[in-house]
Structure 1
Amino acid sequence: MNMELMVRDAQGRYLVATAEQILEAARQVIDWKVPRGTLLTSTSLARDYLRTKLGGYEREVFAAAFLTSEHRLIEYVEMFRGTINAATVYPREVVKTALQLNAAAVIFAHNHPSGDLKPSGADRELTKTLKQSLALVDILVLDHIIVAGDRTMSFADSGIL
């Protein structure tokens, strides 16, 4: 049995959905499933959420889930977009956004379109820099999760953070 997902275009016609349209719909569904105010105290929930948000991108995207002191989601922000193997991240902009959102904690995430889960030296150094920068304004970095397709790697669970 061959099933195809259909989408409606601007004229009301139904067409076969592209992979990108399906991934965008999945991102919208995860936003409904994990709305603002959701507790992100579970590593598995955070991993599932971030895998759905970042897993299908063909270019590297660096994102942050800004949280309250009780670890409730304030906002998910895709902060920086890059190339197939790198994204430039500006710590000043991360701190500025965290302060604007009145965040008490943050979980960082970025994808590796290559499919390799291993954090690079640059990933480790960036996480250290962000953690130090945010500590100056009393914002806790809870984790940094790498997403590679349908797999994830947690800095916190791996003892890197």
Structure 2
Amino acid sequence: MEQPLPLFARELAPADQQTVREALTLLACQLREPGAPFTSSHAVRDWLRLQLASLEREEFTALFLDNQHRLIAHETLFTGTINHTQVHPREVVKAGLKYNAAATVLAHNHPSGEAEPSKADRQVTARIQQALELVDIRLLDHLVVGGMEITSFAEKGWL
């Protein structure tokens, strides 16, 4: 299956579009590399930047991981408007159980380009973390992508 292009790449020449597709494929392969746990977030951040940075609407994505923090699956769970996405903790838990995940990394974009999480982002993340704890799924991080900048809840000490 051909890798879908981020919005910014759709304006490029066909040869450049192919280069972006290949970069996305390489990053996705790195994320899925057998035996390579998410001990460093560089590949995840690069992949998320390419996937989310140029979107015109907010998207809320989850990366589902096994016990060794290897990627099982990634799924866009919610799509919103230019400045808001309605996120339901119940749906995050359902998806985690569907993939039998031991841990998850959440991510969403801010089309405004501002990577600083809002008060609502922090509140919903706390609710999701509580819900996931009930079913023994660890929330490792929530990353907010604003343009080329990414803010990590874990790095801020919020998780």
With the shorter chain as reference, the TM-score category is 0.7 to 0.9
C-alpha RMSD of matched pairs (Å): 2.3
2:44 is matched with: 46
- Answer yes or no: is the 8 Å Cα contact 1:30–1:53 preserved in 2: no
Unaligned stretches of 5+ in structure 2? 1-11
1:91-130 superposed matches below 5 A: 91-130=89-128
Q: Which of the pair is proportionally richer in helix?
A: 2
Report deviation, 1:49. 2.5
Q: Distance in 2 between matches of 1:17 and 1:112?
A: 28
- Cα distance 1:50–1:149, how it changes in 2: closer, same or farther (>3 A)? same
Q: Distance in 1 between matches of 2:40 and 2:115?
A: 20
Aligned sequence identity (%): 46
TM-score w.r.t. length of structure 1: 0.81
- Residues 51-110 of structure 1, C-alpha deviation per residue, up to 9 Å, x if partnerless? 222122111000000001110000111111111111111111110110010000000000
Report deviation, 1:17. 3.7
- Cα distance 1:36–1:96, how it changes in 2: closer, same or farther (>3 A)? farther
* Number of corresponding residues: 146
Report deviation, 1:136. 0.3
1:4 is matched with: none
1:30 is matched with: 27
The structure having more radius of gyration, on CA atoms, is 1
Unaligned stretches of 5+ in structure 1? 1-14
Q: Distance in 1 between matches of 2:100 and 2:127?
A: 20
Q: Distance in 1 between matches of 2:106 and 2:40?
A: 15
